[in-house]
Structure 1
């Protein structure tokens, strides 16, 4: 129950931040130049509908950002509850100049260097190069790279990037968990069923709607 309360409190904080950011942005949009709405109308979209789309596009950006950050922080709390000495750590880049250091989301005393992602939808090839270097640096430092990604990207190109990253983890004796296996990993590794906790919080806040 203590961890549930911590995650519930965390969700409340992120909910407040989300609402504040949305209210601020929507208020700012009241003063926006709407001359571009002529282009919406040319495509058969009314100015009113175009405004609603603009508003929801901005709301969506904030929602994705805060939903992802919340889940990643909640997963860290689960790991921290099982391994109190685990922490976010930065290691020197021993294989290059930039960046000078790489961050490990949670370095656990058992040697696991855990990268936590709610979702990674990147299609940038440079991302693979940087991640490859990061994994080699972590491996050379004597740690086992572990990736925990709760939601797999939907687009084909992003999935191809993830498949390459998965191969990189495997090649360096690491582990790559995504989707159901990511939730299972957190539950088995920390003895905390994070998904059930989130279900309970969601039920309290929305009544299951």
Structure 2
């Protein structure tokens, strides 16, 4: 099985998981308390539209989660294709007590990769944790590398990413996002992940998925 077939198979797995999770949640919602919909009506939203919004809000949460997990795992598969010894690992937090360990999404020799489909967070605790994680990885003797395929749209989230990129650079690390992230994966692994994703999307769209 070549890398295209492996990633296509992975997409089918995530598609199945997403459908099962969404179907189960929608079924659960049949028994939910919808008394809050009166507030929607006060704001001019009809009962049907309010219900649809609730349903799609839940669907959206699962879609974002599974889309991101799929892309991050697909990128790791590309690394494994070129570097069979690439591995996910956890290292001790030597600069604090919480969390006890930090995860490295892909460790290739001295390079510790964080693979993100996107990061739009503005949560202070998450930001502090991320800065600590990078410093811990650097202190452990690894080169921190961030590969993020989609840059956030909001100004505040962009400012956080700019600060994060500066930290990576200051510690001798690397930071790739957007087109540069796709190009990096292609150059580093020899696998054109973006082309594979586009081919799978086209194939599934053609088949009415």
For residue 105 of structure 2, what is the aligned residue in structure 1? Answer: 105
Query: Retained in 2: the 8 A contact 1:72–1:117?
Result: yes
Name the CA distance, whole Å, in 1 between partners of 2:125 and 2:37: 36
CA RMSD in angstroms, aligned pairs only: 1.3
TM-superposed deviation, 1:128: 2.7
For residue 134 of structure 1, what is the aligned residue in structure 2? Answer: 133
For residue 9 of structure 1, what is the aligned residue in structure 2? Answer: 9
For residue 153 of structure 2, what is the aligned residue in structure 1? Answer: 154
Instruction: Give the gaps of 5 or more residues in structure 1.
Output: none
For residue 194 of structure 1, what is the aligned residue in structure 2? Answer: 193
Name the CA distance, whole Å, in 2 between partners of 1:163 and 1:127: 15
For residue 180 of structure 2, what is the aligned residue in structure 1? Answer: 181
Q: Which 4+ residue blocks in structure 1 deviate beyond 6 angstroms?
A: none
Query: Retained in 2: the 8 A contact 1:202–1:208?
Result: no
State the SS of the aligned residue for 1:134: helix
State the SS of the aligned residue for 2:113: strand
Instruction: Give the gaps of 5 or more residues in structure 2.
Output: none
TM-superposed deviation, 1:137: 1.4
Q: Deviations along 1:106-156, whole A, 9 cap, x unmatched?
A: 0002x1100000011110222232222211111111110000000011111
Q: Deviations along 1:90-118, whole A, 9 cap, x unmatched?
A: 11112222222111000002x11000000
* Alignment size in residue pairs: 208
Query: Retained in 2: the 8 A contact 1:125–1:161?
Result: no
Query: Retained in 2: the 8 A contact 1:135–1:145?
Result: yes
For residue 66 of structure 2, what is the aligned residue in structure 1? Answer: 66
TM-superposed deviation, 1:29: 1.1
State the SS of the aligned residue for 1:33: coil
Worse-matched range after superposition: 168-177 or 119-128: 119-128
Task: Report the TM-score, using the length of structure 1 for normalisation.
Answer: 0.96
Query: Retained in 2: the 8 A contact 1:119–1:149?
Result: yes
